Amino acid sequence: MQPTSTDPITILAIESSCDETSCAISRDGVILSNIIAGQAVHEQYGGVVPELASRAHLQHIVPVVDAALRQAGCKLPDLNAIAFTQSPGLIGSLLVGSQFAKSLALALNIPLIAVHHMQAHVLANLIPNSAAATPRPGAAAALPHPGASPTPSHSGGPALPSFPFLCLTVSGGHTQIVLCHSPLKMEVIGETLDDAAGEAFDKSAKLLGLPYPGGPLIDKYAHSGNPARFPLPEPQIPGLNFSFSGLKTAILYFLQDHTAKDPDFITANLADICASIQGRIVSILLNKLKKAVRQTGVKDLCIAGGVSANSGLRTAFRNMGVTEGWNTFIPPFEYCTDNAAMIAITGHYKYLNGDFAPLSVSASARQVW
Ligand code: KG4
Ligand code: ZN
């Protein structure tokens, strides 16, 4: 359906880049539904098995889309565009979502919007909590509408970040500091040279004998641990880039040394080990962010991506915001790990910009943005 200038813009968005099949419906940028189906099949293998992920997406996609439409109270003719994750991710997984999105756009004769997954993680910070909010480009800071209470997950300053803002995007495959000039104009000013922050969590968890994905488990055990108990090295990487592979090796040797002396070392000290690992990853991330603020002068700061669900990072980020005088913004948990709501909000801004993709567009495992 083609809207007139006053009609609401309703977008169906699909995310299938890794092991979550998700569909969201947005109306004028407000999320009406956000259904996420995880894939437990990978747990027994200690990591995501790409072929199994593609098959699970095939099984999940129709029921997930159906549930998202029903929860939003929407019918297919209400839709104005279909947005989907085009890149980056596992190619088989991306293909399921992109082929589904293309077929739906073709059948409904409505525009198709290709979304970059990492850009969408950043824009999760622009998802308004207010049902009456209507994001327009450049107007993010004005949201939510007058009278709405501030979003509890956002601390300090206005309820949504003002441009330009900095976003620390930390996921299973990426670690980036992004300078955002507008919803669709972003610049990566720092990134990891090797492992991502999520990999640092997951690989450390594996060394501790914890199941995949280990990040949330390290978070859980760290709650009752002492982060100062086992000092771990902070890599000295110039500029705004990160490196986590040295930390992983240091953790491996640290565990090997201690378990050689005491085979029960890990079980006896799990909380303190997890708190020490988490504390070091968080300090590496936030020290670079502080450097980025000094370099750019930008004072509106966001975090995004799966690792932004980490309670240690959320707390330390908020506290650093208070001591450094930043306005800090953190998406609600459901918009941190992979979800289609972030694809919908990105699709919304792209729709307003007339940024549509041809049906010949193809999914891509890697794509710079
Ligand atoms: O953004 P995401 O869902 O998927 C990617 O785009 O990669 O991020 C997944 C990553 C995994 O490495 C997972 O262990 C990590 O986010 N993660 C966490 C937490 N929740 C998810 N890491 C630490 N603490 C958490 N609470
Ligand atoms: Zn992601």
- The torsion angles phi and psi of 148, rounded to 5 degrees, stand at -75, 145
Per-residue HEC secondary structure of 63-79 comes to HHHHHHHHHHCCCHHHC
Furthest-apart CA pair in the chain: how many Å?
72
Encode 265-300: b = buried (16+ Cβ within 10 Å), e = exposed.
bbeebbbbbbbbbbbbbbebbbebbeebbeebebbb
pLDDT in tens, the chain (369 residues): 566 677 899 999 999 999 999 999 999 999 999 999 999 899 888 889 999 999 999 999 999 999 999 999 999 999 999 999 999 999 999 999 999 999 999 999 999 999 999 999 999 999 987 433 334 344 343 333 322 333 333 444 448 999 999 999 999 999 999 999 999 999 999 999 999 999 999 999 999 999 989 999 999 999 999 999 999 999 999 999 999 999 999 999 999 999 999 999 999 999 999 999 999 999 999 999 999 999 999 999 999 999 999 999 999 999 999 999 999 999 999 999 999 999 999 999 999 999 999 999 999 999 777
Q: At what angle do helices 265-296 and 197-207 cross, to 10 degrees?
A: 170
Q: How far is the CA of 308 from the centre of ligand 1 (A)?
A: 8
Which atom of ligand 1 is nearest the CA belonging to 20?
3
Residue in 273, 254, 11 with CA at minimum distance from that of residue 135: 11
85 lines ligand 1 (CB under 6 A): no
Using the mean position of ligand 2's atoms as its centre, give its distance from the Cα of residue 140 in Å.
22
First to last CA, the chain: 30
Identity (one letter) of the amino acid at 264?
D
Our answer on whether the CB atom of 216 is closer than 6 Å to any ligand 1 atom is yes
Residues 18, 89: contact at Cβ < 8 Å?
A: yes
User: How many Å apart are CA 33 and CA 314, to the nearest integer?
Assistant: 25
**Any atom of ligand 1 within 6 Å of the Cβ of 88:** no
The CA 335 to ligand 2 mean position distance, Å, reads 10
